[in-house]
Amino acid sequence: MKITPEFLNKYNKTGPRYTSYPPATSFTQDFKSENFVPALINSNSHQPENISIYIHIPFCPQLCYFCGCNTQKFESAAKVRRYIDCVLKEIDTVAQHIDKSRKVSQVHWGGGTPNSINFDYIQEIMEKIGSHFSYTQNPEIAIECSPAYLSVEDIDRLATIGFNRVSLGIQDFNDEVLNAINRRPSKLPIDQVIERFRLNHFKGINLDLVYGLPLQTLESFRQNIEKAIALSPDRIVTFSYAHVPWVNENQKKMDESTMAGPDLKLQMLLAGFELLTNSGYESIGMDHFAKPTDDLAIAKHNKKLHRNFQGYCTRETTGQVYAFGSSGISQLWGTYAQNKKNLFHYMEAIEETGLAIDRGYSLSKEEIVIREVIDEVMCNGIVDFTEIGKRVKCNADDVKIITGFDGNKLQPFIEDGLAEVINDNVHVNADGMFVVRNIAMLFDPNLVKSTSKFSKTV
Ligand SMILES: C[S@@+](CC[C@H](N)C(=O)[O-])C[C@H]1O[C@@H](n2cnc3c(N)ncnc32)[C@H](O)[C@@H]1O
Ligand code: SF4
């Protein structure tokens, strides 16, 4: 079927994004640091055995108006030093509760702009991690970088510290659009940046693009995609700009009249999809693309794709996530725990107790089953009830009962050629992945009837 804006509009209703199940909006403030310690200890006896570490750096030298990340303008070196000391202390506190026979398979640095801080601090934190934990044979050590603050020496230094994956925030190649969002262009030509990372044996090199920003047109967005393809990165992400000026004050500084409306954004999404898939990139999620040789594309083929708050990963390398720094979310087998978002509140809590949990959620056994099913639909477009049952220690029928699965509700998707049932398992096809959130909702018995607090599904 040819996916058209009209088709997508048919399915475009409100629903959870399912970046986690239950969604972060369900986290409650009764979950505190006292609840986190037993959850940490409990995580030692659950799968995945591997450890994923997330380090959040909430500083940027300049704030882009469109940004929805938890970050703030860099003010003083003393404040950054104080923050780094807190992250070091938090790692010491959490590490006491982790079984040291478990290995680290992933480290992800996000923000904010991790590459805008003193690289000695980055090294200090990596050494702290190394002092507590050992690594698997081929760990993924990733960092999100703004190319505005990357020199050739910086790239070499990141490699020396141990990084082997990078995600570069491009957003748009056009200087006028960058001006309108208060963003600096890349310090070096992007092809040189990519080449230098490759020389240092980085894999999974990713470029982030955003559509829906001020002054962008369908044509200019196409040109962005074409430029990105010409650079031949391993992965390209096309984020839909999330405009929520009532949450992010800075977004009010942009001229709304120059931004694409929902219909044009759908056209941009489809144009990006077509250009990328016609150029040999494979669709990983609706807005994530990877070369067929990339680990994520291989994992997608093998139905081993997984997702956490840091993005897509593979079931082989993924671990339970232990997050450090303000706003970081730990994702353990049965628990989510989020740190305080406010920088000062985070630092005060860490200085006092070594932990800074603000809110969280303990999943019931049933919710763990639902989460596994929804993750599989969202990432791999498949529900193998028996296989999931094995993972959560129950049988296929229990999985159906717990998720409230009703084949009749899948029927319209089957009739539209988006999904099929083979050997009692549900398979979502490539077109169906455009509306995968709608299909995931069929397995969510707790979905609140009033879904007005959620965004549109497409
Ligand atoms: C932490 S930033 C990346 C690293 C670095 N700070 C940079 O800007 O290059 C993560 C990514 O989130 C995306 N992003 C940020 N705000 C967004 C928004 N409001 N809507 C959609 N995507 C957004 C951007 O593509 C950005 O590259
Ligand atoms: S997009 Fe990146 S550089 Fe810009 S404010 Fe957000 S985190 Fe900072």
Query: pLDDT (tens digit, 9 = 90+) per residue, 218-274?
Result: 999 999 999 999 999 999 999 999 899 998 999 999 999 999 998 999 999 999 999
What pLDDT is attached to residue 453?
Answer: 59
In this structure, which residue's CA is closest to atom 26 in ligand 1?
Answer: 169
pTM (2 d.p.): 0.95
| Structure tokens, 341 | 């978002």
Which ligand 2 atom sits closest to the C-alpha of 111? Answer: 7
Ligand nearest to the CA of 60: 2
What pLDDT is attached to residue 6?
Answer: 81
What pLDDT is attached to residue 458?
Answer: 59
Residue 303 and residue 297: Cα distance in Å, rounded? 10
What pLDDT is attached to residue 5?
Answer: 79
- Strand 425-428 with 51-57, pairing: unpaired
Please, are residues 433 and 8 in contact by the beta-carbon 8 Å criterion?
no
Report DSSP state, residue 418: S
Report DSSP state, residue 102: S
What pLDDT is attached to residue 315?
Answer: 86
What pLDDT is attached to residue 450?
Answer: 43
Please, are residues 269 and 211 in contact by the beta-carbon 8 Å criterion?
yes
Q: How many angstroms does the Cα of residue 369 sit away from the middle of ligand 1? A: 31
What pLDDT is attached to residue 457?
Answer: 57
Q: How many residues does the chain have?
A: 458
146-179 burial: b if 16+ Cβ within 10 Å, else e: bbbbbeeebbebbbebbbbbbbbbbbbbbeebbe
Residue 208 and residue 272: Cα distance in Å, rounded? 13
What pLDDT is attached to residue 11?
Answer: 84
Q: Where are the alpha helices (DSSP H) in 165-217?
A: 175-180, 190-199
Q: How many angstroms does the Cα of residue 207 sit away from the middle of ligand 1? A: 11
Residue 329 and residue 327: Cα distance in Å, rounded? 6
Query: Pocket around ligand 2: residues whose beta carbon is below 6 Å from it?
Result: 60, 63-64, 67, 69, 71, 111-113, 146, 169, 183
Query: Pocket around ligand 1: residues whose beta carbon is below 6 Å from it?
Result: 60, 66-69, 110-113, 144, 146, 169, 171, 208, 210, 239, 241-242
What are the two backbone dihedrals, phi and then psi, of residue 414, each rounded to the nearest 5 degrees?
A: -65, -45
Q: Which of 418, 455, 449 is nearest to 436 (CA)?
A: 418
Strands (E), 262-390: 282-283, 288-290, 305-308, 311-314, 320-324, 329-331, 335-339, 357-362, 382-383
Ligand nearest to the CA of 71: 2
Instruction: List domains and CATH numbers for the chain.
Output: 19-329 (3.80.30.20), 365-447 (1.10.10.920)
Q: Which of 324, 339, 334 is nearest to 43 (CA)?
A: 334
Q: How many angstroms does the Cα of residue 6 sit away from the middle of ligand 2? A: 33
Ligand nearest to the CA of 146: 1
Listed as ranges, residues in the chain with pLDDT below 50 are 450-452
